[in-house]
Amino acid sequence: MNHETMLACYRALDLTDEKGFLCGKVLADLGADVIKIERPGGDPARSVGPFYHDIPDPERSLNWFAFNANKRGITLDIEKADGKHMFSKLVETADFLIESFSPGHMDELGIGYAVLSRINPKLIMISITPFGQEGPYRDWKGSDIVVWALSGMMYVSGEPDRPPLSPSFPHSYFFGAMQGAVGAMVALCHRHMTGCGQHVDASAQMSLAWVTQPEFQGIWDIEKKIVKRSGRLRVRPGTGVRMPIVWQCKDGDVSLILSLGSGVAAANRALVEWVKGEGDNCDILDQIDWWTFSWEDVTQELADQIIEIFSRFFLSHTQAELFEGAVKRGIQLSPSLSPKGLLEFAQLTERGYWVEVEHPELGTTITYPGAFVRPTETVCGIRRRAPLVGEHNEEIYKQELGFSAEEMLMLKQAKVI
């Protein structure tokens, strides 16, 4: 078994809070040596739930586990003089520094990009913030819902008769963290040409504005029309016909987006045959020549009739029945899954997606999502659980930076580490 990883020769220092964890996590999944730097006593984000067995404890945060796996962890107060000095030492050999402080904070501490790039001109610094390092919102406070709102995503989420909606599991920042990771890799490749690192300015707002797509942005461009939230109905751009993507079935939801055209005609026909075979009245669908049928032929009245037939059919079947039948017939219908459904989803199990990660301190193993890519020559995925508070202080400070046991004790008492 090959254990080589793509980025094993690189080191990243990770100063981020929960806004930026994912950036270092994905680099670590690809093999980079990512050192999570926490303040003495532990990172405040260790208080972000959920928790192992619902017991709130800095060493039991599942959010921390999920996004800091594969990292090593040290404690360091970068606001103290000794801490700054030690941090500078670490910067000398680092390839990446990832941070998510408010813009300007690192500069105020005297360890901004300008200073650090003099210590190590090859350093690539990645800053992940709500709105970026520049511009009129630079100093604005951006919680996850505020970024979701200002990106445009919120306005088109939710039901027409309720306020615009945000996700109950906030993840606006993850888009910024991931764009930061991609930017870091571009900067790395650029460094091979120039020998110099650079500053990657990743904005969560900008990263999420990208997600709003032409259905939102493009309609404004060409029609100066503002698209609104439409709940479970998707308004088809152009014709304005409303149809669901997610449908209720006997025991949950399934998703199916009606596509038309010769490429999907056979699948559409197969769906009609299936409905018909169960004795449901679907004459309207049966009469359609799916090979020539186009969206110009679909009025809202016809759409409503189709919706009625599908709704009745789906409601009389379970998710499992519908999915099994769809796979057999090549129909693009999927179950709408919860985490439990994901953990039981056969395809993911067959591919060995889930990884059991040992947590010796808890006396157990925990199931994690594994690799986000399967390369032939290298491995991606989780190799070790997230670090405990200060777990690798000895390894890094003593063995690498050469501090003595006495100095370590002194630094600990002075609350530097």
Partner 1 sequence: MKNEESKSQTMDKRTFEKIKVLDFTWAGVGPFSVNFLAYFGATVIKIENMSRPDVTRTNPPFKDGIPDLGHSLYFSYSHPVKKYDITLNLNHPKGVDLVKKLVLQADVFAESFLPGTMEKWGLGYEDLRRIKPNIIMFRTCSHGQTGSMAKHPGLGFTLTSLAGFNTVMGWPDRPPSELLGAYTDLVAPLFGGLCIIAALDYRRRTGKGQCLDFSQHEAAIQFLAPLVLDCAVNGREPNRGGNHCTHAAPHGGYRCQGDDRWCAISVFTDDEWRAFCKVTGHPEWTNDRRFGTLLSRKRNEEELDRLVEEWTRERSPEEVANLLQAVGVPAGVVSNAKDQREDPQLKHYRFFRELDHPSMGKLGFYHPPGFKLSGVAPEVSAPPVLGQDNEYVCTQILGLSDEEFVELIQDGVFS
Near partner 1 in 333-372, by CB under 8 A: 333-343, 346-348, 350-351, 353, 364, 366-372
226 touches partner 1 (CB under 8 A): yes
Is the Cβ–Cβ distance between 415 and 40 less than 8 Å? Answer: yes
Whose Cβ is closer to partner 1: residue 287's or residue 376's? 376
142 touches partner 1 (CB under 8 A): yes
Residues 6+ apart with CB under 8 A from 247: 253, 254, 255, 256, 310, 311, 314
140 touches partner 1 (CB under 8 A): yes
189 touches partner 1 (CB under 8 A): yes
* Cis amide prior to 40 (ω within 30 degrees): no
Per-residue x/- mask for partner 1, residues 376 to 415, rule CB under 8 A? xxx-x-----------------------------------
Closest distance between partner 1 and the C-beta of residue 76, in Å?
A: 25
Whose Cβ is closer to partner 1: residue 237's or residue 410's? 237
Assigned token pair, 162: 């309720």
Assigned token pair, 111: 């360890």
234: left (phi over 0), alpha (psi -120 to 50) or beta: beta
Which residue's entry shows tokens 């129909």?
331
Options 44-52, 79-87, 305-313, 403-411: segment touching partner 1 (CB under 8 A): 44-52
Closest distance between partner 1 and the C-beta of residue 129, in Å?
A: 11
Is the Cβ–Cβ distance between 94 and 120 less than 8 Å? Answer: yes
Of 15, 86, 256, 396, which lies in the binding site for partner 1, with binding defined by CB under 8 A? Answer: 256
Cα–Cα distances (Å) from 250 to 56, 133, 247, 315, 319, in that order, read: 37, 50, 10, 5, 7
Per-residue x/- mask for partner 1, residues 78 to 97, rule CB under 8 A? --------------------
Residues in the chain: 417
261 touches partner 1 (CB under 8 A): yes
Q: Which of residues 307-326 bind partner 1 (CB under 8 A)?
A: none
Q: Which of residues 199-218 bind partner 1 (CB under 8 A)?
A: 199-203, 205-218
Of 57, 108, 135, 395, which lies in the binding site for partner 1, with binding defined by CB under 8 A? Answer: 135
CA pair distance 410, 417, nearest whole angstrom: 9
